[in-house]
Structure 1
């Protein structure tokens, strides 16, 4: 079964815990990332409405912590996500969730 990381971006607080945990787990230098937090906004959409969101995006360096998963552990970004908005599982598990919520799937 194909494992994917799903981000419920409605709840990402932009804390960078996923980035830091990944860098430490894999010994990456401060300018290298396995997952990178992207900021959208702040953009004023109307007089009373603003868009200010964060979206963690796995990079090409991400192997979904294959060694950790082989040992029965969660990927480090998922384990250390302070907002609890990162999840991992089989792609099929998240199909219904994607229809109902604001989530993005990365394989």
Structure 2
């Protein structure tokens, strides 16, 4: 069955760990990314409060860590996500999250 990466972007803290883990796993240069963190904001909520949102987005270099998958492991970005906001499973396995959270699904 085909697996996909799901991002629960309500909990992404913008730590960039997914980017770094991917770069190290695949030997990418500093300006090359298999997954890239997009920043949305800052949006002003009140006079003294600002909000940022972050969304990790797989790039065209992302192969969902095919070598790791072949060894029975999850993609390195999912493995190393400190916020625990990246998931990797089949559509059926991710079904519960899809209806309950603000998510982005990458096939």
TM-score, normalised via structure 2 length? 0.92
- How many residues are treated as equivalent by the alignment? 107
Other-structure match for 2:88: 88
The DSSP-based 3-state class of the residue aligned with 1:100 is coil
Other-structure match for 2:63: 63
Structure 1 gaps, min length 5: none
Structure 2 gaps, min length 5: none
Deviations 1:46-90 (CA, angstroms, capped at 9, x unpaired)? 657744100000001101001001101111100110001001000
Q: Which runs of 4+ in 1 moved over 6 A?
A: none
Tell me how large the CA RMSD over aligned residues is: 1.5
Other-structure match for 1:20: 20
TM-score, normalised via structure 1 length? 0.92
Instruction: State the alpha-carbon separation in 1 of the partners of residues 2 and 44 from structure 2.
Output: 39
1:96 Cα deviation from its structure 2 partner: 3.5
Instruction: State the alpha-carbon separation in 1 of the partners of residues 91 and 61 from structure 2.
Output: 20
